[in-house]
């Protein structure tokens, strides 16, 4: 479903494949994200989910197939060009600039929107001074999306923050680029239950208040099921199912991929939820 | 009553008062009486009275300016320190610090000369830091946590702070006046003080306390500016002053210890006032005054040979520019460059070929008027820098896909190729003979070919000031942030919108720009270019300056450049001449070694000693002499978890990248 609506699609992957040597990490993947949707990509470890993200953001190049953002091909673009087109992302293992402060991290996120060049940076004409002041103001606004704690700790090195706060800074850095589409790679990894609930809330607020389209990879099924509009399931680089959370939950192939044999299903679901 | 409050210090501030008055008075007394302060003043005054001494008006004005700035700054500093001290650190601790960081250098400089004295300090200080850490550990002493007494000052406390500053400056200048009076009386009785200067003694004794009072008020204002509300943030710009203070206090309370320690440097009251940002401003004023008026006061400080010394400092200066340029490439952007000497050579040859008859000879043109050529030096410095920057970009381009060790090898190659190209292009560069007869610059008709190094001294000062200015501005800009981001994590930087290609090329280009400036200056000062001043060894020396000083830290690399230059070019070069003097302990050392190894000189093992010194500094102070905050954190808190970023062989998104790195 959804493929026929491709004209209005925010993001569209068309038969995208990626081979590492002989290994097919992603194979003939079709994926569509409509504006304002929250779409999850799930699958067992090594299913190729992160590779999909790397293909979309230009870190990897597809072996075949094409990727479109709002109808325009992203093929051959470097990561910074992809960001300028409107796709920002976070990473599974949080890749912040650890020896920079919270504020500086978010300022780097605004790099593409700021204009100061080497001459402007050196002599600081009023335009550059204003731009820099506005950038700081905006960075603080972005941090305040996650409450006052990060605003208060704006001058802290990110490495001194807790895991959950680092995730937020990483999202704030991604937001700083004014993206249309936000890719979140396991946004609740390593978080406890309370932090996870909190994360779910702010991810939904990202869509509702900032009107972002969100594509996310998630391991915690409960999280995924709760907030996704649609879910794609990958296994061994292939899409094995897609649809509404309820449909995916009952899909035989998904259950098999996730839980091995159907007999274990009961226990496993309990432990996950 | 108010007057009494100001001048008679409260009981609890008396200890602080004594701590700083003694702490500052001793170095000032050493400068004034043991060294040349008094001699400078007396000579100047004799000149004014027309009784001999200095008679040149220009020099007199400079001397007067220097002395006024020097003593006024020290008196104000006393007030600031008394006001800013939180009183947490004991008297002994402060005095030991002053002994090691002020008195020892002062005595070394007085007895051995400026460069050797400072070079020895660069060796002594790391050892001192190491020893202090060991002692603290042995006696189980942990320095108090900064900001224990973090608080927003009430209006009463602000008034008290200001009063403390006034009493600090006032009593310091009273003490100085009294000591000076006593010493002068002794001089007078012993006959070494001319009678005509007695009137000056009286004026000075009366003037100092008055000056102390007003300078204390100034110091109080400066200290008050750094109390807790000092650093306002963009987000609380619209709230009232009191609320802003509380926001700031809350923010400080939430910071981690490492960050607090850095932030604490800014604040008053301060546990380590001597190292606080406010005190650093005073040190900066002293340093600038010293450097600016140095050519005038040098004869008083070190006696004959001013010209030779100034020429030496001119050489040290272009090393500073080179280190600042390399710091952009290595320190900010994290690109290891082992061929930096190539751009230095390009800058040097650009002015060398243009500024001599070389170019017009080769092109069979009529020679350019020498006067015009001399004036053309100024635009050509910029041209030489731009040419070097262009080659920085050109040579940087093929290395873009490399990082770490691989990048180092390629840049090493460039460092070898460029000087050889200049050597082989002998039609243009005279090959091994080098270029001679390069015209010296002229400034508004003043010809610099006269044998005095003073113009070159001020030229290098101006160039260094320009380099520091550009470095600081770039570091705190959009571009500087992008450089540091690339150093931290290339993939994250690229995914945050940083164009890796242009940003890295800007780093190479900007770094090369500064070496071009240094190269043009080098040629102009030498009056020629010699192809053997651009070897791989020089590239390594430049890199050592950056690493020893503190990678990525602007004050660090300046100090590093001076330290490495003075150790390598002065201290070690002079060992043999020192050892030739039978009264010197080195004489015995050399003879003892020569007894075993016949024909031994220190020159033989010069590089060995240099290497050992570098190794020792790196063992005891791996983060460099003045590390940047980021780097210090990196080296001392490795136990903290962090995402390891491996060396990237290929730019993300480029074909072949996937086989190199898996991004998760």
Q: Is the dihedral of CA B10, B15, B17, B18 positive or negative?
A: positive
pLDDT digits (tens, 9 = 90+) for A82-121: 999 999 999 999 999 998 999 999 999 999 999 998 999 9
Calpha distance B643→B265 (Å, rounded): 29
d(CA B251, CA A148): 10
Contact yes or no for A111 and B482 at CB 8 A: yes
- For B118, which DSSP code? H
Q: Are the beta carbons of A147 and A79 closer than 8 angstroms? A: no
Closest to B473 (Cβ–Cβ): which among A96, A117, A124?
A124
Give the domain ranges of chain B. Answer: 2-295, 305-534, 536-627
- Check A21 against B659: CB less than 8 A apart: yes
Euclidean distance between CA atoms B448 and B464, whole angstroms: 19
A158 and B643 Cβ atoms separated by less than 8 Å: no
Of the residues A152, A189, A190, A217, the best mutation for testing chain B's interface (the one with the most B CB atoms within 10 Å of its CB) is A152
Q: What is the pLDDT of residue B450?
A: 64
Chain A partners of B643 at a C-beta cutoff of 8 Å? 93-96, 98
Give the CA distances from residue B482 to residues B189, B238, B495, B659, in Å, rounded to whole numbers and listed in that order: 67, 30, 12, 26
Q: Specify the pLDDT at position A57.
A: 94
| pTM to 2 decimal places | 0.88
Interface contact A58-B630, CB threshold 8 A: no
CA distance B392 to chain A (A): 15
- Partners of B659 on chain A (C-beta within 8 Å) are 20-21
Closest alpha carbon to A80 in A112, A48, A46, A52: A112
Asked if the Cβ–Cβ distance from A83 to B497 is below 8 Å, we say: yes
Using DSSP, state whether A17 is helix, strand or coil. Answer: strand
Dihedrals phi, psi of A30, to nearest 5 degrees: -110, 130
Interface test with A, best of B472, B492, B496 (most A CBs within 10 A): B496
Q: Which of A57, A99, A122 sits opposite B474 (nearest CB)?
A: A122
Classify B368 as helix, strand or coil: coil
Residue of A nearest to B629 (CA): A99
Task: Indicate whether A52 pLDDT > 60.
Answer: yes
Write the CB contacts of B355 (distance below 8 Å, at least 6 apart in sequence). Answer: B373, B376, B377, B380, B438, B439, B523, B524
Q: Which residues of A touch B386 (CB under 8 A)?
A: none
- H/E element, A40: strand A38-42
For residue A80, give the nearest of B497, B633, B645 by CB distance: B497
Q: Looking at this predicted complex, what is its ipTM?
A: 0.90
pLDDT on residue A3: 46
Contact criterion met (CB < 8 Å) for A100 and B510: no
Cross-strand bridge partners of residue B528: B436
Q: How far is A269 from chain B (nearest CA, A)?
A: 26
From the list B259, B488, B491, the residue facing A98 with the nearest CB is: B488
Quickly list DSSP for B148-209: TT--PPPHHHHHHHHHHHHHHHHHHHHHHHHHHHHHHHHHHHHT-S-GGGHHHHHHHHHHHH
Chain B residue with minimum CA distance to A173: B496
Instruction: Yes or no: say if B481 and A108 are a contact pair by the CB < 8 Å rule.
Output: yes
Is residue A38 a contact partner of residue A216, using CB atoms and an 8 Å limit? yes
Provide the pLDDT for residue A264. Answer: 45
Predicted confidence at residue B118, as pLDDT, reads 83
Cβ-based contacts under 8 A for chains A and B: 180
B255, B470, B499 member nearest A153 (Cβ): B255
Cβ pair B274, B97 in contact under 8 A: yes
Find chain A residues with C-beta within 8 A of B482's C-beta.
108, 111
Q: Name which residue leads in pLDDT, A45 or B479.
A: B479
At B645 the pLDDT is 36
The burial class, CB within 10 Å (0-12 / 13-18 / 19+), for B571 is buried
**Is A89 close to B495, i.e. CB distance below 8 A?**
yes
CB-count burial class (<10 Å; 0-12, 13-18, 19+) for B189:
exposed
Residue B510 with chain A: CB contacts under 8 Å: 118
Nearest chain A residue to B631 by CA distance is A99
The runs of H, that is alpha helices, within B597-652 are: 606-620, 629-636
Interface touch B251/A153, C-beta < 8 Å: yes
User: With 0-12 CB in 10 A as exposed, 13-18 as middle and 19+ as buried, what is B582?
Assistant: exposed
Closest CA to A122 of B552, B458, B513: B513
The bridge status of strand A230-235 relative to strand A238-243 is antiparallel
Mean pLDDT (10-residue bins), chain B, 664 residues: 58 84 92 84 80 77 91 95 84 89 90 82 83 87 65 79 91 94 89 82 92 94 78 43 69 75 77 86 94 90 85 89 96 92 95 87 80 86 95 89 83 91 88 86 72 86 95 94 94 94 94 96 91 91 93 93 88 82 82 85 86 86 83 56 38 56 56
CA nearest to B503, candidates B641, B295, B334: B334
SS3 of residue B584 by DSSP? coil
Cα of first residue to Cα of last residue in chain B, in angstroms, is 72
Would you state the structure tokens that stand for residue B434, as one six-digit string? 């080098």
B202 vs B180: CA distance, rounded Å: 11
Nearest to B324 by CA among B546, B55, B12: B546
Which band of pLDDT confidence, cut at 50, 70 and 90, is reported for residue A225? confident
* Predicted local confidence at residue B590, as pLDDT: 84
Short-list B558, B559, B590, B591, CA closest to B575: B590
In this structure, the strands spanning B528-529 and B435-436 are antiparallel
- CB pair distance less than 8 Å for B663 and A79: no
Which tokens sit at B478? 């959009």
Question: Quick count: other Cβ atoms within 10 Å of Cβ A246?
Answer: 10
- Out of B469, B481, B500, the one facing A104 most closely (by C-beta) is B481
Compute CA distances B188 → A21, B49, B279, whole Å.
Answer: 92, 18, 36
Q: Do B664 and A91 touch (CB under 8 A)?
A: yes
pLDDT tens digits, A178-210: 999 999 999 998 888 899 999 999 999 999 999
CB contact under 8 A, A140 and B258: no
* Tokens encoding B269: 């009251």
- A59–B657 C-beta distance less than 8 A: yes
Q: Is the dihedral of CA B652, B656, B661, B662 positive or negative?
A: positive
In whole angstroms, what separates CA A91 from the centre of its chain? 7
Q: What gap in Å lies between CA B384 and CA B438, rounded to an integer?
A: 14
Spatial separation of the C-alpha atoms in residues A269 and B533, rounded to whole Å: 73
Contact B251 A155 (CB under 8 A): yes
- The DSSP bridge partners found for residue B446 are B443
Q: Which residue in B254, B469, B479 is closest to A152 by CB distance?
A: B254
């Amino acid at each position: 479903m959804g493929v026929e609506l491709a004209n209005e699609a925010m993001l569209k992957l068309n038969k995208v494949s990626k081979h590492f040597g002989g290994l097919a990490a992603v194979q003939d993947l079709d994926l569509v994200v409509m504006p304002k949707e929250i779409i999850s990509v799930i699958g067992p470890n090594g299913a190729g989910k992160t590779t999909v993200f790397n293909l979309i953001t230009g870190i990897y190049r597809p072996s075949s197939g094409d990727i479109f953002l709002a109808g325009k091909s992203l093929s051959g673009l470097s990561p910074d060009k992809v960001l300028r087109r409107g796709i920002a992302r976070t990473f599974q293992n949080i890749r912040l600039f650890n020896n920079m402060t919270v504020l500086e991290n978010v300022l780097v996120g605004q790099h593409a929107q700021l204009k100061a060049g080497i001459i402007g940076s050196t002599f600081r004409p009023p335009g550059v001074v204003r731009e820099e002041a506005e950038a700081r103001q905006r960075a603080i606004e972005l941090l305040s999306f996650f409450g006052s704690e990060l605003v208060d700790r704006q001058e802290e090195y990110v490495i001194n923050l807790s895991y959950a706060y680092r995730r937020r800074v990483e999202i704030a850095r991604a937001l700083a680029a004014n993206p249309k589409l936000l890719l979140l790679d396991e946004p609740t990894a390593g978080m406890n239950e309370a932090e996870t609930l909190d994360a779910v809330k702010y991810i939904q607020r990202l869509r509702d208040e900032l009107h972002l389209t969100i594509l996310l990879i998630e391991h915690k099924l409960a999280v995924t099921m709760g907030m996704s509009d649609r879910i794609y399931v990958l296994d061994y680089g292939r899409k094995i199912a897609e649809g509404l959370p309820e449909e995916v939950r009952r899909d035989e192939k998904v259950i098999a991929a996730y839980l091995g044999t159907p007999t274990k299903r009961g226990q496993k679901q309990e432990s996950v939820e | 009553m108010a007057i009494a409050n100001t001048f008679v210090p409260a009981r609890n501030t008396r200890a602080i008062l004594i701590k700083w008055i003694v702490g500052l008075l001793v170095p000032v007394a050493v400068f004034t009486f043991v060294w040349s302060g008094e001699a400078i003043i007396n000579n100047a005054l004799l000149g004014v009275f027309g009784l001999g001494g200095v008679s040149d008006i220009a020099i007199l004005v400079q001397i007067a300016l220097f002395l006024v700035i020097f003593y006024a700054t020290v008196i104000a500093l006393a007030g600031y320190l008394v006001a800013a001290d939180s009183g947490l650190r004991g008297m002994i601790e402060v005095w030991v610090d002053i002994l090691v960081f002020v008195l020892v250098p002062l005595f070394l400089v007085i007895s051995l000369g400026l460069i050797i004295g400072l070079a020895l300090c660069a060796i002594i200080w790391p050892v001192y830091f190491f020893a202090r850490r060991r002692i603290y550990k042995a006696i189980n002493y942990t320095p108090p946590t900064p900001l224990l007494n973090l608080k927003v000052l009430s209006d009463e406390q602000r008034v008290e702070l200001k009063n403390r500053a006034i009493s600090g400056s006032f009593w310091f200048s009273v003490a100085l006046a009294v000591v000076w009076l006593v010493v002068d009386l002794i001089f007078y009785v012993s006959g070494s003080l001319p009678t005509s200067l007695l009137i000056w003694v009286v004026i000075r004794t009366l003037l100092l306390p008055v000056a102390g009072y007003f300078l204390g008020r100034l110091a109080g204002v400066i200290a008050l500016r750094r109390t807790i509300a000092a650093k306002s943030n963009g987000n609380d710009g619209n709230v009232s002053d009191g609320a802003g203070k509380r926001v700031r206090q809350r923010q400080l309370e939430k910071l981690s210890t490492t960050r607090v320690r850095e932030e604490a440097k800014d604040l008053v009251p301060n546990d380590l006032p001597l190292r606080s940002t406010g005190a650093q401003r005073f040190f900066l004023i002293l340093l600038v005054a010293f450097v600016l008026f140095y050519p005038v006061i040098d004869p008083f400080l070190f006696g004959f040979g001013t010209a030779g010394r100034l020429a030496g400092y001119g050489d040290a200066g272009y090393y500073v520019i080179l280190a600042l340029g390399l710091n952009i490439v290595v320190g900010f952007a994290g690109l290891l460059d082992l061929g930096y000497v190539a751009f230095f050579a390009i800058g040097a040859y650009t002015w060398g070929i243009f500024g001599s008859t070389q170019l017009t000879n080769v092109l069979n043109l009529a020679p350019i008027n020498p006067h015009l050529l001399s004036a053309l030096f100024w635009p050509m410095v910029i041209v030489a820098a731009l040419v070097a920057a262009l080659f920085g970009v050109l040579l940087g381009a093929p290395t873009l896909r490399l990082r770490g060790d691989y990048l180092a090898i390629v840049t090493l190659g460039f460092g070898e190729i460029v000087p050889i190209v200049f050597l082989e292009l002998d039609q243009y560069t005279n090959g091994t003979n080098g270029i001679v007869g390069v015209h010296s610059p002229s400034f508004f008709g003043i010809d610099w070919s006269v044998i005095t190094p003073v113009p070159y001294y001020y030229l290098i000062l101006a160039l260094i000031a320009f380099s520091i200015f550009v470095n600081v501005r770039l570091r705190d800009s959009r571009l500087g942030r992008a450089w540091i981001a690339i150093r931290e994590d290339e993939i994250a930087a690229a995914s945050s919108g940083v164009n890796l290609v242009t940003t890295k090329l800007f780093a190479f280009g900007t770094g090369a720009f500064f070496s071009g400036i240094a190269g043009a200056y080098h040629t102009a000062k030498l009056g020629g270019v010699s192809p053997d001043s651009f070897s791989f060894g020089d590239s390594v020396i430049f890199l050592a300056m950056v690493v020893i000083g503190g990678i990525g830290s602007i004050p660090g690399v300046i100090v590093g450049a001076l330290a490495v230059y003075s150790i390598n070019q002065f201290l070690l070069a002079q060992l043999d001449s020192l050892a030739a003097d039978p009264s010197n302990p080195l004489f015995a050392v050399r003879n003892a070694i020569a007894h075993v190894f016949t024909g031994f000189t220190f020159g033989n093992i010069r590089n060995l000693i240099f290497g050992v010194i570098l190794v020792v500094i790196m063992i005891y102070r791996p983060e460099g002499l003045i590390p940047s905050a980021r780097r210090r954190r990196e080296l001392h808190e490795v136990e903290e978890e962090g995402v390891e970023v491996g060396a990237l062989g290929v730019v993300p998104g480029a074909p072949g990248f996937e086989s190199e790195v898996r991004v998760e």
